[in-house]
């Protein structure tokens, strides 16, 4: 299945059905009069979050969605049927924006969540609605209200607990394949990963979702390489695993480039908890490895974990570090929520 994380679609709600102009004319019926029914309501445009989807590829082949028009009213006080709703089914993590691609309409984060994007037009009143003591034979009815239309943007942001970031060929896909059942494309050339990959990682008695983001290079925030368009997928991550290729000469520059690109995209990304990992240690001489670890500790101001994604050495330490960070973040959120609900007070 192809991966698509952004789509622009046109939506239009249904028109309301028109009211009917009708009069009762039946043999042996003593009292006649107006009996035109009301029109049915137009269909709504609804967006629904469903399970089993992880891409917006369906909206690559169909971009126009229109709800049905309500049925017109009929004689004998028969009200027209409401128009059928149009439902846009999207994966968990989809955001809906206005045509300007900035104004957020809805954030679909839970399976079963439904949001009405556009309401259908009301049906018109039939002439029976206008009957009064002063006007017992009205000969007019209302037309149905017109539906509304607009263009919207659908933008998918994968929901993962942890995200892998780093330069192309840092070994992110190899790491994901080593710790999960995911099978990303792995090759010895840059930009092997062209779209994000997800894997479920099991460590001890815990599971979490790990996202592999296509590699970043210097100037990605300005559109160089694949650019930073996929960084939105790690906005929801609780922790970032910053993977650095240990075989390159300047690991300090490699670290700073990624940090700069994260900050240029969104300051909140740069503030997320980070686990710094030096990869490919199986290909580095011991003295050189020691020096690079020292450099990374100094620039990142934290401990640096050492792994070989190919052999699996050191991967468990990284995974346990992710679990520890996620637990700490969850505890901090719960504490903040408790303090908000129960503020300090004195008798």
When mean pLDDT is compared across 121-135, 138-152, 189-203, 289-303, the lowest value belongs to 189-203
Residue given tokens 């001890």 in the structure block: 204
CATH topology identical between 6-156 and 162-339: no
pLDDT value, residue 189: 47
Q: Are the beta carbons of 222 and 229 closer than 8 angstroms?
A: no
Q: Is the pLDDT of residue 208 over 70?
A: yes
Q: Are the beta carbons of 128 and 21 closer than 8 angstroms?
A: no
Distance from C-alpha of 47 to C-alpha of 116, rounded to nearest angstrom: 6
Q: How confident is the model at residue 191 (pLDDT cuts 50, 70, 90)?
A: low
pLDDT value, residue 16: 96
Q: What is the pTM of this model?
A: 0.73
Distance from C-alpha of 258 to C-alpha of 216, rounded to nearest angstrom: 7
pLDDT value, residue 184: 57
Q: Comparing C-alpha atoms, which of 247, 280, 242 is closest to residue 259?
A: 242
What is the per-residue DSSP string for 267-322?
A: HHHHTS-EEEEEE-GGGS-HHHHHHHHHHHHHHHTS-EEE-BTTTTBTHHHHHHHH
Mean pLDDT confidence for 83-112: 92
**What is the CATH architecture of 162-339?**
3-Layer(aba) Sandwich (3.40)
pLDDT value, residue 1: 47
| Range with the largest mean pLDDT of 45-49, 91-95, 204-208, 314-318 | 45-49
Domain ranges of the chain: 6-156, 162-339
Interstrand relation of 104-108 and 64-66 (parallel, antiparallel or unpaired)? unpaired
Alpha carbon distance, N-terminus to C-terminus of the chain: 62
**Phi, psi at residue 246, to the nearest 5°?**
-75, -10
Q: Is the pLDDT of residue 193 over 80?
A: no
pLDDT value, residue 286: 86
Mean pLDDT confidence for 118-141: 92
When mean pLDDT is compared across 5-19, 143-157, 177-191, 301-315, the lowest value belongs to 177-191
When mean pLDDT is compared across 198-202, 231-235, 286-290, 337-341, the lowest value belongs to 337-341
**What is the CATH architecture of 6-156?**
Distorted Sandwich (2.70)
Task: Look at residue 331 and give its three-state secondary structure.
Answer: helix
Category of 327 on φ-ψ map: left (φ > 0), alpha (ψ -120 to 50) or beta: alpha
Q: How many CB atoms lie within 10 A of CB 93?
A: 22
pLDDT value, residue 225: 55
């Amino acid at each position: 299945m192809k991966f698509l994380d952004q789509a622009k679609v046109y939506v239009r709600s249904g028109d309301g059905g028109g009211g009917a102009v009708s009069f009762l004319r039946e043999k042996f019926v003593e009292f006649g009069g107006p009996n035109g029914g009301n029109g049915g309501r137009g269909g709504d445009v609804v967006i629904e979050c469903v399970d089993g989807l992880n891409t917006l590829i369906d909206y690559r082949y169909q971009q126009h969605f229109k709800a049905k028009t309500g049925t017109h009213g009929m004689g004998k006080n028969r009200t027209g049927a409401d128009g059928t709703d149009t439902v846009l089914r999207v994966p968990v993590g989809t955001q809906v924006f206005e045509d300007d691609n900035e104004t957020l309409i809805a954030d679909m984060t839970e399976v079963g969540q439904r949001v009405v994007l556009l309401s259908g037009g009301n049906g018109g009143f039939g002439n029976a609605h206008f009957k009064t003591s002063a006007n017992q034979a009205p000969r007019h009815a209302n037309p149905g209200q017109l539906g509304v239309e607009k263009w919207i943007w659908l933008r998918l942001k994968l929901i993962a607990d942890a995200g892998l970031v780093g330069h192309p060929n840092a070994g992110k896909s190899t790491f994901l394949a080593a710790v999960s059942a995911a099978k990303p494309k792995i090759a010895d050339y840059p930009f092997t990963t062209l779209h994000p990959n997800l894997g479920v990682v099991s460590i001890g008695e815990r599971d979490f979702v790990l996202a592999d983001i296509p590699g970043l290079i210097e100037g990605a925030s300005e559109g160089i390489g694949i650019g930073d368009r996929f960084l939105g997928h790690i906005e929801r991550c609780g922790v970032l695993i910053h993977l650095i290729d240990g075989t390159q000469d300047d690991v300090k520059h490699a670290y700073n480039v990624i940090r700069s690109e994260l900050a240029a995209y969104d300051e909140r990304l740069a503030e997320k908890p980070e686990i710094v990992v030096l990869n490919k240690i199986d290909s580095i001489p011991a003295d050189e490895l020691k020096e690079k670890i020292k450099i990374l500790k100094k620039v990142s101001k934290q401990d640096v974990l050492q792994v070989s994604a190919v052999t699996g050495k050191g991967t468990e330490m990284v995974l346990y570090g992710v679990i520890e960070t996620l637990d700490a973040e969850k505890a901090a959120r719960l504490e903040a929520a408790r303090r908000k609900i129960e503020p300090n007070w004195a008798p």
